[in-house]
Every structure is written in C-alpha cells, then in structure tokens.
Structure 1
Amino acid sequence: MTSRLKFTASVLAGGLLALSTGIAAHAADTVRVRGKIESFHGSTLVVKTREGETAKITLKDGWKPSSLAKASVDAIKPGDFVGVTSIPTADGKNGAVEVLIFPAAMKGTGEGSYAWDLQPNSTMTNATVANAVKSVNGHSLTLTYKGGEKVISIADGTPIVTTAPATEADLKPGATVFVPSQKADDGTLSSSRVVAGKNGVEPPM
C-alpha cells in the first residue's frame, strides 16, 4: 500500500470511529443536530436545524468531516455489520427507515438496539446480519446483537448508505449535515464529527 493510500485509510478509519461513536452514544448530554449549514468558519459550524432553530457548534481539536455514498440492499450479506433505524409497522413488526453499512473494520462498534430520535418511536439497531431474505414484498434482515435479535423489513426506496470521505470544502452553506454533538452544562454544543451531504447523498440518519 502506498503512503498516500495508507494516509487516506487512516483518516477514514478515524472518521468512521468517531461516526460510530456518535451513532452509538445515547446519553442525556448527546444532541444529534440535523439540518443545513448556515456558515462554517474556523472551528465554528452554524446549522439551521430541521426544527427551525439555529445551532452553533464548536468543532473540537482533531475533528473530521465525512460523507456517505449510496449502497444497495442486495449488497448486504450475512456477517455484515449494519446500523438500521426502524419504526413499528402496522402489522406489529419493524420497518427500516434507513440502513448504514459499516466497513468490516468497524464490526461490533456501538452494538445494541436503543431508542433513536430520527422519527417518533424510532429505534437504532447496530448489529450483525444473521440472515438476509428477499421476498416478493422486498427484503428483510435478521439482526443479532448481544442480548437480542431483531427482524427488520426493508421496503423499496429505503435509503441504503455506506461511509465515504469528505473534506472541509464540502461544508458549504446549504449542505445537509448530521452532527452528533455534546451539550455542556451551559448549553453550548461541541462535536468531533460532521457527516455532510455530498454528490447528492444526504445523511439519512
């Protein structure tokens, strides 16, 4: 592997670790900022959130940007590690809202199933695919994690993404971002990770 490729792989791996940490975190002081960039200067990112508020986020030393790329549900196979946001369906089962396919190096990170705030009653499940089934009604995944198992259906049109690199140049006004942030006692926000929309792929999480 060339030194350039080694550097790129190292940066991306570090970014993925920060991303997965942000996804897995569900402590009371974690705030997941979703919205569009209003401005980005130095270490300060200002986002107009989906709730219509303005969030000012201080980016920590060593912070990294990342993006996402489209993936196919057909690419998901037994043994893959995925993060799936799901909601209860009318038949009492679980339907996917979005699916993030982690690279093999991140397998096991943030493993579990817990409440998520993408939509009302949504749940995030980070788990290994035990079985991937295709039927006439679409796909379903059997996910296994420590202490549990969950079957989630994936309807046609559900966003399926995987991780991809980004640069500070991608943090332009109007770009859609997902920023897992920490809220201090004084209400200020800080983060070490910004997931930005790029090449037409916006963060669905």
Structure 2
Amino acid sequence: MFDIQNYGSFIAAIVIFQLMPGPGTFAILNATARNGIGAGFGAVIGTLLGDATYMIAAAAGLAAVMHANPMLFHGLQWFGAAYLCWMGLGMLFRPVARDTGGEEPKRSARTYLRNALVISLTNPKVMLFFVAFFPLFIRPGSSSVTLVAMMVHITLISFLYQGALVWVGNAAAIRLKTLPLARTIATRVASLALIGFGLKLAASNR
C-alpha cells in the first residue's frame, strides 16, 4: 500500500516503537503532570518535530553521512546523555510542590516543546529507527509520494499514542494531587528514569 514495502510490518514496527517507553515518554508525562494538558501536548509536538527531522534526514541520506563520520553520531549521543542526566538531576533535587494551596510553577507549553525536541533529537533509539530502520520500508524506485505517506503514517500513529499518554497522565496527576507522598515518589521515579537513560546512553557510547 502506498508503495510501502511490507506495509503490515511497517505499521507493526511503528506501534511497537511507540509502546517501548523511553526518554520522550517520560518527558511527555512529566510535562503533563507538572503543568497539565497544554504542557503535555507541547512536549508531544516537540517529540513529533524531532521525529520529523530524522525522517527527512534519513531520506536525505543521513545514514550515509553518519557512517562516514561516526564522531558526529557519538557526539550527539554524549550530548543526549548529558542533557538527560541534567534534566533528571533537576527533577530529583527540585522540591515537589505540596498541596498546601500552592501549585507547580507555571511554564509555557513552548518550554516543554523545546525540552522534548532536544530529547528526541539526542535519543539514539529515534536516530537508529529513522536512520537505519525507516529506509528499509522504501521500495526501490519509489517516488517522493511514498516517503510523504510513510511520514504521515508515523506522525499520525505517534500523535494518537502520545496524545493518549497526555490524557491518561493528566488524570493520574489530578489523583496524585490528593496524595502528596505518591506524587513525590512518582516525580523521583521519573527523575531516576531519565538519569538512568542518560547513563545507559553514556555507557553504550564508550
């Protein structure tokens, strides 16, 4: 369909890729828990923009460029590791707002969009998927229409899944507001997860 090679496998791969929790997932849930649905969708847009960047880059031959310049790939990995650890440490040591009449500091959706975009652009899972795996589904001799169709498929499925994360995360955050200890634990777990992703990335880059 749409001249996409192994169409069924292509759709399955997108779904599986989305279901695998990663830094982007935690960025979306963190934004939603802290500042609500608007912030969550800001993070979703940032993630989708990062994905779109790699899809376009893959079509433009980024795989060949990175193969010829491995230092570029490693440099992005180190930057991503540092950024994830920095975000995680910031969450870990930032006091969690208690339910004593105060609320989380309001931050614009643009702030969360920017954070999610950086995470997406420095996430090796995203790079490997679009740079190495994504081109495998393009039939030889396919037109640019096929590439556009693939990008639309990935973007739409990603948006539906990540949008669902925002709504579910917002409902959970509302419940957690009445449970200060649970909210603190959830924030600490999310921060440790981001640090863990960063350390794992750094270890794989040695």
Q: Same fold (TM over 0.5)?
A: no
Structure with the higher fraction of residues in strand conformation = 1
Which structure: larger Rg?
Answer: 2
- Scaled to the shorter chain, the TM-score interval is under 0.3
User: TM-score normalised to the size of structure 2?
Assistant: 0.22
User: TM-score normalised to the size of structure 1?
Assistant: 0.22
